[in-house]
Structures are given as structure tokens and as C-alpha cells.
Amino acid sequence: MPIIKINSQHVHIQQLNPAAPETIVLVHGMLGNLSVFYFKIAPILARHFHVVMYDLKSHGRTEKVAHGYDLESLTDDLMNLLQKLDLSSVYLAGYSFGGLISLKMATRFPSFVKKLVLIEAPNPNDDQTRLMIDSYTRESLENYLGQTSQIQPGTRAMERKHRINDYLFHETSIKIDILKERDFFDTAAINKLPHHTLLLYGTESPCNEAGHELMKKIENSTLLAIEGDHHIPLQEPIRIANLIGTFFNNQYQEI
């Protein structure tokens, strides 16, 4: 379980195939951790790429931090990680809120991003995310995991997840910080994004409208519908991995 220190914060990371010449960085979403990629998606990508995954602050096994959940701070964290690992240019893929972090990263530090994949990136002006945070309980966590996990975590694992999420929602600035991002999709830099971008959204996802909006805003983008809902990395991991890999390998053709 590699824990590295970045600017006095302990960050949990995992790397596969570090000898590969090209690097993919995978960014997970809110309430999740790097395991959403680690078991099925990352091993497929690691056949050809160096794959880097990390737990966001207060997620997974990364150190708990009370502040800094706005996109500016979270992309500062990602930049610090790249510099720590001596990575000057990477392929970047993010899921859900991790997609917003990845998009923000590409607008702030375009030279560090070669190509971009956004998986189910939501519109931060959508009230659903804030309602989920405001109404969080252990029961809502159990319902969420029941919808997204084929194997249910044991009592101890469930308790640990609950403690992490309870800390996030009640002892950090995450609610305030997310409100700061309501107008992110109206940022002029998104319309000027130079990166070739692949947008992956579930056919039954409530985030579909966000995908179509991003396709209109990002000139060099392609939107693909994947059978499933917001949880397509768990529902269709092999297809997601293959699409990411071929897209970053410059072998992608529009379907």
C-alpha cells in the first residue's frame, strides 16, 4: 500500500507497469477510491501504459483534510502528484467528480495533458449531487453500494466507508466548495479546450444531459453511449478500459 508524502499530506497511490513509455492517470469520483479502476480497468490499460491511480484527499487511504475540495485545490493536488512522480505530460481519465477534476486540469495546465477521457462527468450546477450530500446517512451508503457493488462489503469495511463519508460531509468544507463550482460548465476555457476528448456516458444515466452539453462546448470531442447508468465503470469495465486504451493509443475510430 504505497503512501507518499506530497506537501506534508500523505497520499495513497498505486502504479502499474511503471516502465512503460506513456502514462495514464486515472481519477476516481466522490465517495469512491482508486479501486473503481484498480481491479479490472487498470490491468487492461497497463498492458501498454504506465497507469497511475490515487485516492483523493479524505478518500480511501489518503490522509483526511478539512479543506480544499474545490476544483482549483483538487487540481493543485493532482499537479503536485505529477511533479512528485516526475511526470510532465500524461493521458488523463476521470470518472464522475473525477471527470470534473480532469477537465479542470486540462483547462488550467493544458501542456500536462495529452488527451482526455471524461466518464460520467456531471454538471456541477445539477442539484442531485448537493441533495445527495445533504441527505447522507449510513442507510443511503448501503443503498448506494447495493446498486453499484456485485460483492457487498463486510461490516468492518462498511463501517470504515461510513466513517470516511461521514467525516467528508460533516467535518470538511466539501459542501461549500462544491457550491463554488456551480458555473464551471460556463467557463470560457472549456470552449477553447485544445485536447481531443472522449466522453463516455451511460444510456440510462441522469448525467446524459451533461455529456451532450460538453460535446457542444468541446470542439474536438466525441460522445459515446455505454449500456448502463452512472456506474458504467463497474457495469462495463472491460469495454470502458478498451475504449480508453484504443483512444489513447491513437487507434480509436468513431463508432
Reported as a single tens digit per residue, the pLDDT across 104-152 is 999 999 999 999 999 999 999 987 655 555 554 445 445 555 554 444 5
- Position 10 scores a pLDDT of 97
What 63-67 contacts at long range (C-beta under 8 Å, 24+ apart), as own/partner pairs, is: 63/9, 63/10, 63/11, 64/164, 64/167, 65/9, 65/172, 66/171, 66/172, 66/173, 67/172, 67/173, 67/177
Q: Do the domain assignments include residue 223? A: yes
- Distance, in Å, from the CA atom of 226 to the CA atom of 76, rounded to the nearest integer, reads 31
- Is there a contact between 65 and 171 (Cβ–Cβ < 8 Å)? no
Q: Do the domain assignments include residue 254? A: no
- The C-alpha angle 130, 26, 60, rounded to 5 degrees, equals 60
- Distance, in Å, from the CA atom of 105 to the CA atom of 84, rounded to the nearest integer, reads 16
- Position 179 scores a pLDDT of 87
- Distance, in Å, from the CA atom of 5 to the CA atom of 11, rounded to the nearest integer, reads 6
CA distances to 74, 159, 252 from 62, in Å? 13, 17, 34
Q: Nearest to residue 28, comparing CAs of 117, 96, 115, 108?
A: 96
Residues ≥6 apart with Cβ < 8 Å to 156: none
Q: Do the domain assignments include residue 136? A: yes
- Position 254 scores a pLDDT of 46
Query: Structural domain of residue 104, as residue ranges?
Result: 3-248
- Is there a contact between 190 and 213 (Cβ–Cβ < 8 Å)? no
- Position 130 scores a pLDDT of 58
- Distance, in Å, from the CA atom of 24 to the CA atom of 49, rounded to the nearest integer, reads 7
Q: Do the domain assignments include residue 255? A: no
- Position 199 scores a pLDDT of 98
Q: Do the domain assignments include residue 204? A: yes
CATH number, domain containing residue 220: 3.40.50.1820
- Distance, in Å, from the CA atom of 45 to the CA atom of 164, rounded to the nearest integer, reads 29
Q: Nearest to residue 232, comparing CAs of 201, 195, 209, 208?
A: 201
Q: Do the domain assignments include residue 184? A: yes
Each residue's pLDDT tens digit in the chain (255 positions)?
A: 699 999 999 999 999 999 999 999 999 998 889 999 999 999 999 999 999 999 999 999 999 999 999 999 999 999 999 999 999 999 999 999 999 999 999 999 999 999 999 999 999 998 765 555 555 444 544 555 555 444 455 566 667 777 888 888 889 999 899 889 999 999 999 999 999 999 999 999 999 999 999 999 999 999 999 999 999 999 999 999 999 999 999 865 443
Q: At what angle do helices 97-108 and 71-84 cross, to 10 degrees?
A: 70
**What is the DSSP-derived secondary structure letter of residue 56?**
P
Q: Do the domain assignments include residue 244? A: yes
Q: How many domains does the chain have?
A: 1
- Position 31 scores a pLDDT of 82
Amino acid present at 102 = S
Q: Do the domain assignments include residue 202? A: yes
- Position 129 scores a pLDDT of 59
| DSSP states of 154-170 | -HHHHHHHHHHHHHHHH
Determine the distance from the C-alpha atom of residue 61 to the mean position of all C-alpha atoms in its chain, rounded to a whole number: 16
- Position 146 scores a pLDDT of 52
